[in-house]
Amino acid sequence: MANTVLSIENITVQFGGVVAVNNLSMHVDEGEIVSLIGPNGAGKTTAFNAITGVYQATNGRVIFNDEIILESHPTGKMKKLYAGENADLYHKIISKTPDKIAKLGMGRTFQNIRLFKELSVLDNVMIAKHMRLKGNLFTDTFMINYKEERKLREVCLELLKIVDLYDLRDEVASSLPYGKQRHLEIARALATEPKLLLLDEPAAGMNPQETEELTALIRKLRKDFNLTILLIEHHMNLVMDISDRIYVIDFGKLISSGTPEMVQGDQRVIDAYLGVADDE
Amino acid sequence: MKKNTKIIASLILAAALLGLLIFIDNSELKSSMLSTCLQKGAIYALVAVSMNLLNGFTGLFSLGQAGFMLIGAYTYAILTIPVASRASVYQYFDGGVVQFAIPVLPAILIAGLMAAVFAALIGLPVLKLKSDYLAIATLGFAEIIRAVIQWQQVAPLTNGSNMLRAFPTYSSILFPFIISGICIAAIILLIRSSYGRAFKAIREDEIAAEAMGINMFKHKMMSFVISSFFAGVGGALLAMFQSSVQAKGFTSAMTYEILLIVVIGGIGSITGSIIASFLFVSSMEWWLRFLDETQFIGDFEVPLLGTGFRMVVFSVVIMIIVLFWRRGIMGNKEFSWDGIFKFFKDPFGIVSKIKAKGAVKKNG
């Protein structure tokens, strides 16, 4: 059996009285491409943010590479307000910050592109390498470790070649066309040397041809970098084409999971996307 | 332009500036207004660049600069007043508690370190705040430090609200230029390093920076402490320049002056800060002085001119800059020979605009 890279147990994220993610459990095995889909507002991005440490989940546990990166239970005001399940399953509060989680090997992209807009394309990628640097403030400032810096630049340029941005390396990130910005986000995430790559709607706003290219790129990346990929996406063609397994959520709850064929045939999924007819 | 040409041009420029300074240093101009403006400009340039590191490159809007300069200036003064002069300086406090003096250069270094230590201490609670709140907290810190130093209980150390004087100053006007130059060079190297990139990433997008593995608090703290260190060094230089220090001179108005230099020069531009610093100091101390005195054109007495009018004009200039020229002299770009070359070929893009218009007419 393949190793489980990411395992999410009973995650609930509640904002005030609103339960955005409700008792979600899923796992991603090494080398897999897993998709998380659901109608708009189903809580996909919230789940992503809970996994990557941007939000602290109200309840549940996330294990990444055999390390607990999040464990939480309702505390304080949430004790009374909590509307989810499994409230007494967890007793510790562990909440790693996003930078620690990134350092453990989880790279991500953002749904609403978050590049370092005023910096060059190359700088954007090199920033992601900052945490892998061996030098300290002193050696780095006075260029004592210039060899490392030079090597780092080479690696980043290679990454830019892979996503086809090498010729645009000195451009300011915000001047790139939309599709290229998405590619740059992927290159930047790759530069963090991830084991698991989380892609939040990488094909949003892309035309069918661009989507197809993206599909090929994701496949290639998985192979070349030995990646495991967790994907949120609305383009069903892309999802069904590329995924090994799919999780479907609606109103924060898991409603179906399995291979693309299984999910496509699931009546609950069809209902969630198309709605249930009243006159049955 | 070729790379070699650029290097030669830079060397010539540097040599010319150095020659000019040495010339001024050895002529009667040494005690002139020009020399005063150059010295103060060099010191303000260092402080402005250190503030730019924090406000322009890391995106932390801090207004504590005068406070850190004050710490630097006092640390320097307290450590270097010769033992023989202490009795007269601390005349109300039996010669004060410090009864030793150390050489100038180590004292400047310690002045910076002291400011850095204070920055680290207040950074712990304050750096969790964002934007305006950070500005208010650091401004408050600067005011508190100023009050504490004048406090009677610490007077044997700080001489209370009395002046500290008789400490060693520099004899050559090259001194502030050399110290400022070294410090600014270090800041430039820092900004161009991987840490500098991380600072810029924080400025651009904190959430994305954190997702890329940049430890937010650690890097903000680094930037804050380093910036304060150089502000402390700047404070020590200012003390030497003034040859006496008194806490009441380091008001928040001083922070605003430096902030102004940063804004005029362009937030995020080192060379902008340096150029703006000399321009600001010169207009403040020299070029706009005439506005404070009664002037006559023939027999006609120009109205409004008088003490304080200089500041009115200055405020108007500032408002104009903030309203119409928000990116300052340099924007977030740096000085480059290519830029200069392009400017002379096509100042303010006028030539290309005219050409573009001509092309439209031809086509139409």
Contact A248, A263 (CB under 8 A): yes
Can you tell me the mean pLDDT for A83-100?
88
* Residue B190, token pair as written in the block: 């820092």
Q: What is the pLDDT of residues B274-307, one digit of tens each?
A: 999 999 999 888 888 888 777 777 778 777 777 7
Does residue A126 sit at the B interface (CB-CB below 8 Å)? yes
Can you tell me the mean pLDDT for B36-47?
94
Does residue B198 sit at the A interface (CB-CB below 8 Å)? yes
Q: Strand, coil or helix: what is A253?
A: strand
Let me know whether A134 and A83 are in one domain. Answer: no
Contact B297, B361 (CB under 8 A): no
**Residue A9 belongs to some domain of the structure:** yes
* Residue B310, token pair as written in the block: 């200089």
Helices B216-242 & B174-192, crossing angle to 10 degrees?
A: 170
Let me know whether A35 and A136 are in one domain. Answer: no
Write down the pLDDT at residue B362: 62
Give CA–CA dist B115/A53, Å, rounded. 34
CB contact under 8 A, A142 and B189: yes
Write down the pLDDT at residue B2: 74
How close does chain B come to A264, measured CA to CA in Å?
Answer: 33
Q: pLDDT tier at B185 (50, 70, 90 boundaries)?
A: very high
Let me know whether A12 and A29 are in one domain. Answer: yes
More confident call, A201 vs B342: A201
Q: pLDDT tier at B130 (50, 70, 90 boundaries)?
A: confident
More confident call, B313 vs A5: A5
Let me know whether A138 and A277 are in one domain. Answer: no
Mean pLDDT, chain B, rounded, equals 88
Residue A104: its chain B contacts at CB < 8 A? none
Write down the pLDDT at residue A7: 94
Write down the pLDDT at residue B290: 80
The last residue of one of the domains, among A193, A218, A238, is A193
**Residue A217 belongs to some domain of the structure:** no
| ipTM value | 0.90
CATH code of the domain containing A200: 3.40.50.300
CB contact under 8 A, B195 and A140: yes
Let me know whether A88 and A200 are in one domain. Answer: yes
Let me know whether A180 and A277 are in one domain. Answer: no
Read out DSSP for B45-65? HHHHHHHHIIIIIS------H
Does residue A97 sit at the B interface (CB-CB below 8 Å)? yes
Let me know whether A5 and A89 are in one domain. Answer: yes
**Residue A210 belongs to some domain of the structure:** no
The last residue of one of the domains, among A146, A173, A193, is A193
Does residue B336 sit at the A interface (CB-CB below 8 Å)? no
Most confident of A90-94, B31-35, B64-68, B312-316: B64-68
Can you tell me the mean pLDDT for B216-236?
96
Let me know whether A1 and A93 are in one domain. Answer: yes
**What residues form DSSP beta bridges with A108?**
A198
Structural domain harbouring A148: 114-193
The backbone torsions φ and ψ at residue A130, rounded to the nearest 5 degrees and listed phi first, read -55, -45
Nearest Cα neighbor of A8 from A45, A56, A51, A66 is A51
Q: pLDDT tier at A279 (50, 70, 90 boundaries)?
A: low
Measure CB to CB from residue A102 to each of B186, B189, B213 and give the nearest one: B213
Let me know whether A200 and A98 are in one domain. Answer: yes
Residue B359 has pLDDT above 70, yes or no: no
Per the structure, how many domains does chain A have? 2
Let me know whether A1 and A96 are in one domain. Answer: yes
Residue B76 has pLDDT above 60, yes or no: yes
**Residue A215 belongs to some domain of the structure:** no
**Residue A181 belongs to some domain of the structure:** yes
Residue B342 has pLDDT above 80, yes or no: no
What is the pTM assigned to this prediction? 0.90
Write down the pLDDT at residue B344: 76
Let me know whether A81 and A34 are in one domain. Answer: yes
Let me know whether A199 and A189 are in one domain. Answer: no
Can you tell me the mean pLDDT for B167-179?
92
Mean pLDDT, chain A, rounded, equals 90
